[in-house]
C-alpha cells in the first residue's frame, strides 16, 4: 500500500485495510459501488494497490 506523508510517498504493509468516514464510493473491477461509510479489504501479497485521499 502506498500513501503520502508531507508529500513524500510511503509504502506500508498490511493484511487488511478499513476505510471509514462520511459516505464514499469506491471502484473495484471497473464497477463503482457505494455510497458506504465503512469498507474493509483483505490484502494479498503483491496483489493490491490502494490510493486514498489525504
| pLDDT at res. 48 | 66
pTM listed for this prediction: 0.57
For the chain, give the secondary structure using H, E and C: CEEEECCEEEECCCCEEEEEEEEEEEEECCEEEEEEEEEEEECCCCCCCCCCCC
Indicate the number of domains in the chain: 1
| pLDDT at res. 40 | 92
- 23 lies in a domain? yes
Query: What would the pLDDT profile of 18-51 be if each residue is shown by its tens digit?
Result: 989 899 998 888 889 999 999 998 887 777 666 7
Cis link prior to 18 (omega < 30° from 0)? no
Residues linked to residue 41 through DSSP beta bridges, in sequence order: 17
**Structural domain for 14, as ranges:** 2-42
Strands 2-5 and 31-42: unpaired
- 51 lies in a domain? no
Amino acid at each position: 500500500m502506498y500513501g503520502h506523508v508531507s508529500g513524500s510517498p510511503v509504502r506500508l504493509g498490511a493484511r487488511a485495510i478499513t476505510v471509514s468516514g462520511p459516505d464514499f464510493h469506491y471502484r473495484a473491477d471497473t464497477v463503482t459501488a457505494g455510497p458506504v461509510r465503512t469498507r474493509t479489504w483483505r490484502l494479498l501479497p503483491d496483489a493490491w494497490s490502494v490510493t486514498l485521499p489525504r
